[in-house]
Amino acid sequence: MPHIFRFHAGRNNNIYDWKTSDKIMPADVREVMDKTNILTSAAGTSIPTPIARMYLFKTAFEIIAAQVRDNKVDTKGIYAGLVSETLDLLELLYKCGNDENKFRYHKWVFDNSQQDDKVINSFFGDQHGHQLLAESFKQAVAEAPFNNRLEITFIYYREGNKELLVGGTSPFTFVFTTPNFTRKLWDRGYKPIAGLVSEDILFDTDYKQLHERDESFIKYVESLVNSERIPPSFQGITEYVINTNTRYHNKFNSTLPSLQNLQIGDTSLTTAKINLKQLHEEGYKQQINNYSDFKMSLPEDSSYTGSLNPLFLLDRMEYEGLYTSPTNKWISTTKVSELEYPATTLSEIMQRELPGVDGISYPFLSSFDFFERCLVKLPDYLLNDEKFLTITNNQGFALPLKPLFFHFFPIGKMKEYLSVEVKGDQVSFTLKIPIFGPTKAYENRSIVYKKTYTADTTVQYSGIIGIYPFTHSTQEELLHTNKYTVASFEKTNVAVTVNSIVFFKKTGIHPVVAPLVPRSQSDKSNVKSGYYQVNESFDIVQLNFKKDNAALACLILPKFKELENGTEEYIYAIDFGTSNTHVEYGRVSMDKVTETKPFAIEEKNMQVAFLNKPRKLQPNDAVSYNDYEFMGNTILEGRQLTFREFMPFQIGPQPSAFVKFPFRTATCESNSFVMNQENNKLFINANIGFFIDSDALTDDIRYSTDLKWKLENAGSDKLNQNRVSLFFQELLLMIRTKALMEQENLRGDIKKLKIALSFPISMGSTLRTNLVDLFEAQKNEVLGTAQPLREASESIAPYYQLRFANVNIQNDSFCNIDIGGGTTDIVLIDKNLENPNILKCYCSSFRFAGRQLWGSGHNEFNMQENGFVSYYKNFIAKNEPAQHTKLERVLNSNSIRTEDVVGVLFSKPEYKFKEIFGENKEFRVIPLIHYTAILFYISRLATLNNVSLPRTISFSGKGSEYLNLIFPTKDDLTGYTKKVLGIFAGTPVRPDFMIEKSNEPKVITAKGAVHFANEKINISDNSWGENALPGNQKQLSITNSYYKGFNNLSLEGQNITYSQLQNGTEYFKEIMLSLSEFFNLLFDNADLCRAINNKIEIKDFSQYKSFFIQPNTDISAFGTLRDSFLAGLAKMQPGDPVAGSPFFFALDYSLVELSREISQKALK
Amino acid sequence: MRVFIFGIGGTGSRVLRSLTMLLASGVKINQKALTVIPIVIDTDAHNGDTSRTRDVLRNYYTIRKNFVNKTVNSESDSFFNTEIRSFNRLDEKAPDSADLDVQFNFQNQDNTFANFINYNALSQPNKDMIELFYNDSVNQFPELHLNLSVGFKGNPNIGSVVFNDLKYSQQFKNLESSFTANDRVFIISSIFGGTGSSGFPTLVKLIRTSTNNNLAKTKIGAITVMPYFNVESNDKSAINSAIFDTKTKAALSFYSGDTHISSINSLYYIADNNQPGSLPNVEGGVDQINNAHVIELISATAIIDFLNTDDATLESPRCLEFGSESDGSPFTIAQFTNDTKEKYIKPLTKFAYATKIGTDFIPTLSNETFYGPKELNIDSALGMQGEYNKLMEFFEGFKTWSTTEMGSANNGRAFNSFNFEGSDNVNTLVHGKTIEAGIFDKGLSKKKVAAKLTSSEVGLPKDMAIPEKYLTMLYETSCYCLDEFGQLP
């Protein structure tokens, strides 16, 4: 055997000396083993052509094909590496080649098919080097298979803004890589590129041959080499695939997945007319959906409706199973890093790429999609588990979950998936996600994840939120009630504050947009409030915090009271008083109001919910109750804000309520409310000032009172309209909610809900229309399509209540005196001899009421003008220094109306305001004159209408409570009234004269209004009382009637204007005459004066006459009565017809002045 | 007939050196009026191998001019029988003073490949195209930024571009203009390096696409030298012999499909897989002087083989391989076939005797007749000190080439051929066979050689020029020694 000096094994072995032999073909060298596994470019340069690298890959496939055939693959060798890199690039393109975020393509063509040297030599440029380059390319493309034309599509890989040339297309191997790609990938900090098989990093030194790859990809490569009319240049790779198939036939069992052409713009990416393809995304996803063992097993009522079952994957989880395909198993080293998957929205999650196999987007979730990084601890209150969903008893934290959790797992089933364990500072959550898949189906598996929050990952919340109304409905007719105000109160001097509150539907992915409107912030108490108006229903509240610029969040899940419309008819009557407002309501059964009750909110039907669990409280009176108002010490000051700006928890006489009806007619307002008329949102800008009396003592908070009359002379004043509107709105919300929250068999039907609103007949029609319009607007908004408003007369309304209480009053003459803060309303009813079934009814109303006693005259804010107040200041400082201190701010204020100050002083027994009438009994003179003037008016009215004096007089209105200051007993009141009426009428009153006096006179009007509203009276046709009343009730024939005040009653019937009452006119004199008459009758009756002195303990009642009528003077020319009259007249429009009773103009300020005299005298 | 022999790169140079030794030994070539025109092509102008070959060629030229009769040709029985001319002396009238130039000076610049192709002036897509094919690292294995002053560092993809510049060189233009129908071309290159493997196909392309039809259609012989030695592993070096095989495989695959290479009339393949030792790793430059290797010697015989082949045989392209009787490491003369021994080893053995005699014996044979001033005047270096020295230098070079270098264990496969040691006989000159010496018969003793020298010198015509007489005396004595020696081992 000769020894032949050759490189390869050779075929001809009979060579001696130089002898003709075989040409060395590629096949001859394939068996030669390589001595290196360094995949450097050096190997790529061994071919004398500029496009050597293309050939290198060709050679690599040829060599490895032979090695596969002979089962002698040098798996670490350089050619194995080149083959692996080619397959890596094909795999990456197959995975996501059409993803513009990952790839860019550029077609490059060197075309010498025209063989025009002049053109082709300048292909690269005109410089010598360029021409040499062109020359060498010319030579290169002259060889097969190029046919003088080389077309390469450059493939660029992208990551974010970075881009890198990976390689190009090749007519030998479809694609090949640049010698620079893997180095630059590393140098430029690209992330490792994952392949189809999990945790397989492409372009690394762990070479993978075809059979070690994803089976669908194997089929794809096979389909490439099986392309029709594939040119012979692909022989190497074709042989490689065929040999691999022969040796690893079982790896070729998969079916070819759905594919789509790779695109460069409008054209397909091809090499040698063969389309390169990408896995059809949907097809691949479907494969994962079929084969993965990590699909989340979602409950049937899950909100997730995607066609693909999302996977649940934990970082490096130790669970076995198929991951994306029958060949790709989950590898427990696969990282699922939150940093790499910052997406939070569902659509982003649906789009993101699976860990370990990037380039494939398929929905998956991990622990960080559900859990927040930090746990938010509530301040020193526990979460109210009756109102909010809790996961454990005595839960002192909010849920550290993301809303997305509930997209997959319904809120109601949370506890099936999540449990918690609290140990000291440590709170551990265990999440158990059931998963399923084809190979693990029998195991009924769950992935369990435990998340523990320690002190380091816990933050402290220093606030509270409240939601109003805490109801929800799915009924069509109640959908409009799903509008909410969410209030946030918190401390400002803490590290962690609420950044925003976001509301979600139960799907967990649909936020309900509601911007935060800050309302108040107190630097003194370091608390602030903010409000969100949420105009649709929500199920999840996410509190977002910022701590050291890092975002934190937690969830609150409200258990709203589900509302259904009831069947019962309710009537709510609002007595919108000048000083106080009252609401009564009654249920109508068989056309009758069963009973009226003051508006109240008990614990069982609380309308508002705060996070805090109530504290059990048992005060000294041994009444135990749940104290919702205590929210812990941390937000003690914040609690004040909730009372002031938001809804009371409860309303009523119970100890757990700080508000009771009737309440002060006032609004509490933010600065922004006053500054900008567009800021007119309930709670957000202003609300009913339930806390006015308490606040008067402490804070300089903006309240508005006198709402009833604010629009009197300025009907289009937007600010005042806003005030009134918001007041009505809040009341209506409370009414609506209450009616719908009644116990099941008594639940109100919102469509039948009737609202009655009472007005004094003295109110001008313009103002009244204004108020009605504002009210109607709110009523329509809050109640939807409800019953029309029932407008009731404040004068007549009490009658209905009294008749309800005592049906007999309709059988005799009757009078009700309703003394309010601003008006006194009189109704006078007489038997009707002509028609016993129709009662004649005279209604009258005048602006002579509480204000004439408790105001301060011209300057309504100067409380020094009021003798009671100035005396009281001295009194309380002297007798109760502690109370004085408490009230100091109120008593020194110049921004609170005097009558409101008196309201505060009357509001609590401990203020001992009434005691000044005991200490200085002379003060009793003033209310006595006030009352007597009203009686004088009644007697004149009776005379004027030819009505006999009433047999019964009843009282209503808050103002009438002053009668208690004067008359120790009801008998005294009865006796005095009877006597005075007799004096004024000139004839004795009937012996069976009686007084009906209620302990709660204020509520009578509202109660009456309820009954009134139940009557089938059509108020719009102005024919009140003309229709038959049901049962034994008599009809009312109502007439508005005033006694203007002329001494000569024959003048009363004349239609005159205010200008005719000017000083010196006949009418003026007539009024002055009747005033003289009144005072003379009162003070000149020695019998009466003696009785007063005696009963009411006045030293000498008669002496006070001189205050009004000085001896030997003409009151038309001088004195307080004249002055007061003219001042009142000046406020009227001269051209307007006289309506009401100018008689009382003269008494407008005079009683207050008298109080000042008495006070000054006493204090001297 | 003229044959233009292109020795590309380091291997090309070294094979040319071996060829020179063969031609010096008087190997016969069946071509009348053969002129060998060696051309060294190397971008690395300072390559040690190249300059050594250039020197030995210059010496050959000088020796033949002074010691050999003008009538002697490649068919004659003589040392230095074949005429070697340099391509700058193609014109017979070229002045003798002009230096013998064997090197193409087409590319000898201190420049990076990037600058060479004016990379910076390329458009971005074309720059990307360059990035697609060339390593643009500046550190390890640079290609784009490779400095061409030290060759292509085993990057034929660079060489294939750069070598196109050959076409624009004056020398190539001269070649094209002077090439005749009687001329042939032979190209020596290695396939695993940079210069050879890129220069070879480019040169073939330039020849086959030449506007001179004689050149385009000429008979081309070529030898592709495949890996036959290792270089020391050096992480920092661009030359990594571990990758030689890999590169060879890639290049062979490419060659097989290259139409121009396929048109080569005689393509000789050679390689040696027996490579246990390793040569120092030197990246070109003056330090790149590698030991001669038996593979280079065999490669040189391919040129003789090509020249001995008639045109008819060359009509259709063919490939040739070389076989010996047996394998062996170290390799010895005995392992060559008789045919090889007859054609190449015998002349080399003759030349070895001449070398030994000329350098070791003659200077000491002052008592012999031919030594004296009236005869050859050895003391005075035949009266031509310079030329005599060149011959001695050549002999010394032959010694080194054949023993120290080819016999080096670092070569992987050492070739044990001759032994120039010993002062009083040449009995052990040929490795593998010793002329037995007895008590009376001392074999080929110095004395016996001296006697033969004398008789030879005396027998030569009186009017023969002294240098010619000297070389002829040596030739005849060498023939005598070989006869005495008998069959080669």
A343 touches chain B (CB under 8 A): no
Task: Let me know if B486 is exposed, middle or buried by CB neighbors in 10 A (0-12, 13-18, 19+).
Answer: exposed
A132 touches chain B (CB under 8 A): yes
Do the chains contact at A18 and B129, CB–CB below 8 Å?
A: no
* Per-residue pLDDT at A1021: 34
Task: Collect all residues with Cβ–Cβ distance below 8 Å to A1041 and sequence separation of at least 6.
Answer: A828, A842, A843, A844, A941, A944, A945
DSSP, residue by residue, B362-388:
GGG-TTSGGGSTTTT-GGGGGG-HHHH
Location of structure tokens 């006096």? A997
Task: Please enumerate in sequence order all residues whose Cβ is within 8 A of that of A1130, keeping only pairs 6 or more positions apart, or say none.
Answer: none
B129, pLDDT greater than 70: yes
pLDDT at B238 over 60: no
Q: Please check whether residue A1060 is in contact with residue A1076, taking contact to mean a CB–CB distance below 8 angstroms.
A: no
In a 13 Å sphere around the CA of A29, the CA atoms on its Cβ side amount to 27
Task: Return the residue in A30, A39, A47, A86 with the most chain B beta carbons within 10 A, the one to mutate for interface testing.
Answer: A47
pLDDT, position A105: 96
Tell me if B325 and A124 make a contact (CB, 8 A cut-off): no
Interface residue of A24, A37, A45 to substitute, partner B, most B CBs within 10 Å = A45
A718 and B CB contact within 8 Å? no
Nearest Cα to A404, choosing from A373, A366, A430, A432? A366
Q: Could you tell me which of A959, A955, A859, A845 has the C-alpha nearest to residue A902?
A: A959
User: Are A631 and A639 spatial neighbours (Cβ–Cβ below 8 Å)?
Assistant: yes
Only one residue has tokens 């594919």, namely A259
User: With an 8 Å Cβ cutoff, is A41 touching chain B?
Assistant: yes
Task: Tell whether the torsion through CA atoms of A287, A291, A292 and A296 is positive or negative.
Answer: positive
Q: Which of A35-49, A157-171, A832-846, B315-329 has the lowest mean pLDDT?
A: A35-49
**B149 has pLDDT over 80:** no
Q: Which is nearest to A1 in space by CA: B302, B335, B269?
A: B335
Helices (H), A677-717: 692-697
What would the mean pLDDT of B475-480 be, rounded to a whole number?
96
Put simply, the answer to whether B157 touches A44 (Cβ < 8 Å) is yes
Q: Are strands B266-270 and B219-225 parallel, antiparallel or unpaired?
A: parallel
Strands (E), B280-348: 318-324, 331-332
pLDDT for A451 beyond 60? yes
Coil, strand or helix at A593? strand
Q: Which residue has the higher pLDDT, A255 or A418?
A: A418
Interface of B with A in 355-384 (CB under 8 A): none
Query: For B36-52, how does the pLDDT look when each residue is reduced to its tens digit (9 = 90+)?
Result: 999 888 766 667 788 88
User: Which residues does A1125 contact at the CB level (< 8 Å), separation at least 6?
Assistant: A1068, A1071, A1072, A1142, A1145, A1146, A1148
B100: nearest Cα among B137, B69, B66, B59 = B59
User: What is the average per-residue pLDDT within A564-568?
Assistant: 93
Alpha helices in A742-796 (DSSP H): 765-783
Distance from the Cα of residue B223 to its chain's centroid: 12
pLDDT tens track for B341-394: 999 999 999 999 999 999 999 999 998 889 988 889 898 888 899 999 999 999
User: Does ipTM exceed 0.90?
Assistant: yes
The percent helix, strand, coil of chain B (3-state, each to 5) is: 50, 10, 40
Q: Which residues on B lie below 8 Å from A134 (Cβ)?
A: none
- Average pLDDT (A889-910) is 87
Rounded CA separation A31/A46 (Å): 18
Q: Which residues of B touch A127 (CB under 8 A)?
A: 118, 121
Do B256 and A40 make contact, defined as CB atoms within 8 angstroms?
Answer: no
pLDDT of A1024 reads 38
What SS3 state is found at A447?
A: strand
Q: At residue A1022, does pLDDT exceed 50?
A: no
Q: What is the mean pLDDT of chain B?
A: 87
Residue of B132, B145, B163 best to disrupt the A interface, most CBs of A under 10 A: B132
pLDDT bin (cut points 50, 70, 90) of residue A1002 is confident
Domains and CATH numbers, chain B: 2-110+148-322 (3.40.50.1440), 113-146 (no CATH), 338-485 (no CATH)
**pLDDT tens across B247-270, in order?**
788 788 888 888 899 999 999 999
Q: Collapsing DSSP states into helix, strand and coil, what is residue A468?
A: strand
CA distance A1154 to A866: 9
Report the pLDDT value the prediction gives residue A1041, as an integer from 0 to 100: 87
| DSSP class of A949 | P
Pairwise CA distance, residues A236 & A225, whole Å: 10
User: Of A77, A475, A813, whose CA–CA distance to B246 is shortest?
Assistant: A77
Test B249 with A30 for CB contact under 8 angstroms.
yes
Give the C-alpha separation, B394 to B388, whole Å: 10
Report the pLDDT value the prediction gives residue A1054, as an integer from 0 to 100.
Answer: 87
CA distance A61 to A240: 6
Q: How far apart are CA A611 and CA A864, in angstroms?
A: 45
A&B contacts, CB < 8 Å: 285
Contact check, Cβ <8 Å, B319/A22: yes
Confidence of residue B244 (pLDDT cuts 50, 70, 90): confident
Residues contacting residue A766 through CB under 8 Å, at least 6 positions apart: A715
**Residues within 8 A of A (CB atoms), B 261-290 only:** 262, 267-273
Alpha-carbon separation of residue A576 from A728, A784, A788, B143, B164 (angstroms): 9, 22, 17, 95, 106
Q: Which residues contact A597 (CB under 8 A, 6 or more apart)?
A: A584, A585, A586
Distance CA(A1117)–CA(A795), nearest Å, equals 35
The residue-averaged pLDDT of A56-60 equals 88
Is residue A91 within 8 A of residue A213, CB to CB? The reply is yes
Strand partners, B279: B231
List residues bridging with A39 in a β-sheet: none
Residues above pLDDT 70, as percent of chain B: 88
Contacts (Cβ under 8 Å, ≥6 apart) of A1153: A857, A1120
Give the amino acid at A695. Answer: D
Upstream peptide bond of A469 is cis (omega within 30 degrees of 0): yes
Looking at residue A798, what is its pLDDT? 84
Q: Spell out which residues of chain B touch residue A104, defining contact as CB-CB under 8 Å.
A: none
Burial class (CB in 10 A: 0-12, 13-18, 19+), A307: exposed
For tokens 């109502």, what's the residue?
Answer: A1038
Rounded CA separation A535/A1082 (Å): 61
Kindly state whether A231 is in contact with chain B, defined as any CB-CB distance less than 8 angstroms.
no
Report the C-alpha gap between B223 and B299 in whole angstroms.
Answer: 7
Bridge partners, residue A955, by sequence: A817
Check CB contact of A42 with chain B, cutoff 8 Å. yes
User: Residue written as tokens 């048992």?
Assistant: A618
Contact at CB, B197 and A59, closer than 8 angstroms = no
Name the more confident of A255 and A824.
A824
CB A538 within 8 A of CB A505: yes
Instruction: Flag whether residue B233 sits within 8 Å of chain A, measured between CB atoms.
Output: no
Band of the pLDDT at B469, cuts 50, 70, 90? very high
Q: Decide: A1152 and A853 in contact? Cβ < 8 Å.
A: yes
Inter-chain contact B133–A15, Cβ cutoff 8 Å? no
pLDDT digits over A579-634, tens only? 889 999 999 988 888 888 999 999 999 999 999 999 988 877 778 889 998 888 88
Is there a contact between A1014 and A1030 (Cβ–Cβ < 8 Å)? no
